[in-house]
Amino acid sequence: MARAAFFRCGHFATAMVLLLAFFSTHLAARDLRLATTTSTDNSGLLRAILPQFEWQQGIRVQIISVGTGKALKLAENGDVDVVLVHDRKAEEAFVAAGYGVNRRDVMYNDFVIVGPASDPAALRGGREVLEAFRQIAARQARFVSRGDDSGTERMERSYWQQLGIATKGAPWYVSAGLGMGEVLTMAGEMQAYTLTDRATFASYKTRTGLAILVQGDPRLFNPYGVIAVNPKRYPEIHFAGAMALIEWLSSAAGRSAISAFRPNGEQLFFVTPAR
């Protein structure tokens, strides 16, 4: 009896050791949670480059694709480990408030104004974004906004504010509360204008019937930054994985992968010059 009890205790102890080892391994191998803008996901960039990082580092990346505002909020709550977003002012405020560390510039592209072939606001060939927005409002041409607190919507709001034009309640202005791909689809169906990053538009243009009408204004510059969540605020985050991703995106391998992403031969993201 005593001997049987001894073996039962031994089996229990062994089982507990194995269980603890399993959970320790599981925690160590936890996915890296990346909150990022819809543009990096909708364009196909992350699907193209992250497998290289995952294979090299042995870390699986869980992508959470939302607007920049929501991505930073997830990070503020400690619900993700790292963010890749495009709102420099908000990024700097996020770091200054102690939520993020080790921010680095990664890449850039630009915004463009797209619209229907009929072009009721007569924007085609323009290069000045503020003048284009002024014409849209003056002619009350239909405009679809992201309306989701994304980096794109924040940039769009800044243009209206600079012009002193109130869009709330305007019959020609639609706030969708959707991601970029969905807004492009909606604008195509409504024969409306919208502001979009060039990369997402490249992935959706054939199904929307929209065309780039305004581009080239320095005000349309669109830089992206990567930031690790501060481990002093949230000790449980996957900080080692976050820093591994930041280092990889900044490395020759990561920069090469970004530059090589050229669907249909068009380069959609350009790496920030190395310092």
Q: Are residues 237 and 211 part of one domain?
A: no
How many domains in the chain?
2
Distance CA 196, CA 198 (A): 6
Determine, yes or no, domain membership for 76: yes
Q: Are residues 96 and 18 part of one domain?
A: yes
Determine, yes or no, domain membership for 3: no
**Who has greater pLDDT, 11 or 210?**
210
pTM for this prediction: 0.83
Determine, yes or no, domain membership for 187: yes
CATH (domain of 21): 3.40.190.10
Give yes or no for residue 20 having a pLDDT over 70.
no
Determine, yes or no, domain membership for 248: yes
Q: Are residues 228 and 100 part of one domain?
A: yes
- Supply angle C-alpha 205, 196, 118, rounded to 5: 55
Q: Are residues 207 and 115 part of one domain?
A: yes
Distance CA 269, CA 40 (A): 9
Q: Are residues 66 and 29 part of one domain?
A: yes
Q: Are residues 115 and 216 part of one domain?
A: yes
Give yes or no for residue 82 having a pLDDT over 60.
yes
* pLDDT for the residue numbered 251: 95
* Residue indicated by tokens 């909020």: 73
Give the domain range for residue 117.
Answer: 110-220
Q: Are residues 103 and 33 part of one domain?
A: yes
Distance CA 9, CA 29 (A): 30
Determine, yes or no, domain membership for 4: no
Q: Are residues 234 and 150 part of one domain?
A: no
Q: What is the tens place of the pLDDT at every residue in 195-233?
A: 999 999 998 999 999 999 999 999 999 999 999 999 999
Q: Are residues 149 and 20 part of one domain?
A: no
Q: What is the tens place of the pLDDT at every residue in 120-139?
A: 999 999 999 999 999 999 99
272 neighbors 223 (Cβ within 8 angstroms) = yes
Q: Are residues 142 and 49 part of one domain?
A: no
Residues β-bridged to residue 270: 108
Q: What is the tens place of the pLDDT at every residue in 161-184?
A: 999 999 999 999 999 999 999 999
129 neighbors 194 (Cβ within 8 angstroms) = no
Determine, yes or no, domain membership for 37: yes
Q: Are residues 141 and 39 part of one domain?
A: no
